[in-house]
Amino acid sequence: MRIAIIGAGCSGLTAIKHLVEAGLHDIVCYDKNDQIGGNWVYSTTPGRSSISRATHIISSKPMSQFSDFPMPDDYPDYPSHQQILAYFQAYTRHFQLEQYIRFNVAVLRVEKIAQERWRLFLDDGTHAEFDYLLIANGHHTKPRHPGWKDRFAGTYLHAHEFKTNQGLDDKRVLVVGAGNSGCDCAVESSRDAARVDISLRTPQYIIPKLVMGKPTDTFAASIQWIPQSIRNRLQKISLRIQIGRYRDYQLPEPKFAPTQAHPTINSVIFDRIRHGKIHPRPAIQDVSDHTVRFIDGASAQYDVIIAATGYSINFPFFDTDFINWENASHVPLYLRIFHPGHPSLFFVGLIQPQGCIWTLAELQARLIGQFLSGRIQLPSNWREQADAEGAFWARHFIARPRHSIEVQYHPYRRQLLRMLQGKSVG
């Protein structure tokens, strides 16, 4: 069987590794860039999806390393983007994955052909046909912009374009959104800007990176044996002890459980707020010229707006009438992998976990390898379960566009492990 993979980021790399491990060798992985790593390759090229200069991971080293390839002992609890890229490069060398990758080749279009096969049209003018197709192109490539974007007369950029704080000296900056990208942009901007405000449309759990001296995700993993309702109360108590009340920072208090929304993991923003370097603001009502009006009636002038307003799920190589989940409330895939209408199509890394994505992508890749090599089978009703599963996850989170592919790390991991052990997952 011939297998194509689109994308040589963390998900594509582990997909190659586990397909080969399952005895499948006729594999071609296409990547439009000149090296592995996806958005972990720092770049200031306009339009290039990459992390910013100051990025460190928000999941800890113990919870972010592949199961059979530990990170170096001298890595800190939260490695930098340079260290993470070096780790992926070492992983690629160790398992000799590069032989399966074609760099500098973009997949322009994909069409389904007879017998559940796939034809890929490439930007070098050629095309190729495959029996199976794995999508690992990531979901942080197409920014979602606010409706007032073009009404702002100053400098507007999406967090996708924010790479450094250079050029912000003496500027009045507004960051829109308090997710992980928004808080990072606010913190970095506040080092040089004259003033930085951050606008929150809804309450947000902002959680320090350490709990009782341990990385937050490591601590959370250690208490998984406790019932969820009790864990929710413990998490709230822990946050109260560590940071006090959110309103102490002029931030809105969440009225929902910590696991019902994607958390922001950031310790520095509390310090910057209390030092007067970052000023929380409510949601935006309107924008005109350089003036932003907020829903509390206040207004302010800004030179720069950084919109950390998320991303749309995007498959530029599929026709929009084939697969289009840009505005979907949930994604109907069995185990977040298998498409009920296209049994030869698989998705790796199309998840937003409350934890590290690539350790879950590793399990997804193992599962695909075991399935294609005939070692495991899907349940007879897996197609029916696909939509039900998407709705199941949607019920666990607040209805927001960012939660359309959200999963809770440990329950989802247990689902994948049960399937790998040959147990039915429903």
Q: What is the pLDDT of residues 153-167, one digit of tens each?
A: 999 999 999 998 888
Residues 270, 273, 274, 280, Cα dihedral to 10° = -110
Beta-carbon contacts of residue 237 (< 8 Å; ≥ 6 apart): none
Q: Which pairing describes strands 101-102 and 27-30: parallel, antiparallel, or unpaired?
A: parallel
Six-digit token pair at 331?
A: 């994604």
Q: What is the pTM of this model?
A: 0.94
Q: What tens digit of pLDDT does each residue of 281-312 get?
A: 999 999 999 999 999 999 999 999 999 999 98
Full set of structural domains in the chain with CATH: 3-142+311-421 (3.50.50.60), 145-307 (3.50.50.60)
Percent of the chain with pLDDT over 90: 75
The ranges of the chain with pLDDT < 70 are 423-426
**406 φ, ψ (degrees, to nearest 5):** -70, 145
Would you state the pLDDT for residue 12? 97
Altogether, the residues listed in the chain come to a count of 426
Q: Give the H or E element holding residue 232.
A: helix 228-243
Cα 226 from Cα 287, distance rounded (Å): 47
Q: What tens digit of pLDDT does each residue of 92-105 get?
A: 999 999 999 999 99
Would you state the pLDDT for residue 379? 92
